[in-house]
Structure 1
Amino acid sequence: FAASRRQENGADVHRYGVELTIDFPEIKPIDTQVRIDASWNHSHFSSDKLVYYYQNGWSHTSLPNRSYQYAGIYEGNAGVWNGRRTDNVDANLTTITHIPRARLIITCRVEAALLRSSQYTSSRAFTVDASSNAPTGGNIYDGQSYTAVYPVSYIDLDGNVHPWTDASAADPELSRLILRSGNIYTFAADGYDPYVSANLSVTKEIGDHVSLSFFANNFTNSRPYVKSYATGVSAIFTPNFYYGLTCRLKF
């Protein structure tokens, strides 16, 4: 088999969401404005495009020193999933304080990731046990089972395309075309607990044409580990604490 690649459009991704912004009345005794903004974003896709997949290194089932004689044709992806959905909820609290006599503007922004949720989906996958490709009839989304997928069809060395049938699944020569997940949590709902960081900016106006701004991002150095619901692996998503100074000229 010889690989051939071409550019084409991917699966349609459906996105929608809601945004909310609340500007509170100015707190006049301290010249402070408060704003809360939040958003929810959802996306999902499912691909039925056909993908040809051949595993290099497989040997012919009957002829020595020959490569495997079939390539699989799969729906959406050369793996057990062919879709994915995500949901994200973010919220921010911003305060802006003016000190007119000192010509200072102090801005503090707290950024919170309240929800991170994702899940792979499939229209063809089925559950299997650890040592067999036979369907077990379980739920692929329970996060407790290995999963597998049959090809839609397969192609032989003469270029003939054959549909996959129940008999194909029982044929030892074709068993390598059954793709398995490498773990039990491929289709488990994934996500992370909320995490927060805060940014600070202090701007000093000098005359009518110059302003200096000191900024400190994640100035509390909040960098918690949050654990994946699906895998149990922990990760850090907030940035390192860093700071700097900018100068703005107005002409």
Structure 2
Amino acid sequence: MIKRIGFWVAIAAAWGIAWWTKQAFGIPDYVMWIGFVAIIGALSTFSLENRMTAVEERVIRKDYSGIVAQLEGERHKPQHKQPASLAAGGAIVSRVRPQHERLFEDFRWFAALMNRHIADEWAIEELPITDVRGYDGPEIGRMYDVWYNACKVGRMQVTLGAGALLSKEKERSARVDLKLNYLRFIPYRDAHSLLYEIGLLTGSYDRTSGEAFRARAASAATDALTGYLWEAVRQPDLDPWFDFMTEGSYGVLHDQVEHWRKNGIDPMTRWGGDRDNRSDD
């Protein structure tokens, strides 16, 4: 209200000065009216630009204070809701093949293993869903919510790798798709630990070159985060989603699952599928 009154007072004062100038220098009326209209147009344009800028800031430059507070909040403890079977999770029974069943069984403790090795702030929580999304239609696999402290930041799913259904060999092949939001607010080392662990567990592991395999997993994580950083800097007004995909024979995951099975360890019941007592392997 005060700004509005001040605005009209300024216009009245300007009009008074203009009228005095007209009388003092004998300026014609039409010149005064042209000048008056020009001044009003300039003021209107200035006001409109300010309003548009304010709207753009509200739309594009969102207030992320609430999200940041969740990201810095107390860590979410995963509450796994594992499906009892592919059919129980919603997969179309007529489409289920032996390769799907094997993948489903091999990844039964994937979330538990992830939670034991990624940065403490993360939590991978399995969902009771086996009817997941594919590029060409529905797929079959496992699905997970991804949390960073108190904020649910995305989802991850596991499906068969490319060509797995056509292969006559009993080779393991899995594809992991990860989609995250708000990654720009998460520390680099934490983000890298998540991608590195996914690549380490699900990549094509060669026991004869363990160091090279770990280096490839680390490099893939670095490359993905570098690409995301580039886009975030290139378009600073946007908050781009982060997409990450990796595919492999998941040798490290398979070896760890077999180790737990042989020793009668069920991480879902023993540790709640979380990171408690990590040294007790």
TM-score, normalisation: structure 1: 0.26
Larger radius of gyration: 2
RCO comparison, higher one (Cα < 8 Å, 6+): 2
TM-score, normalisation: structure 2: 0.24
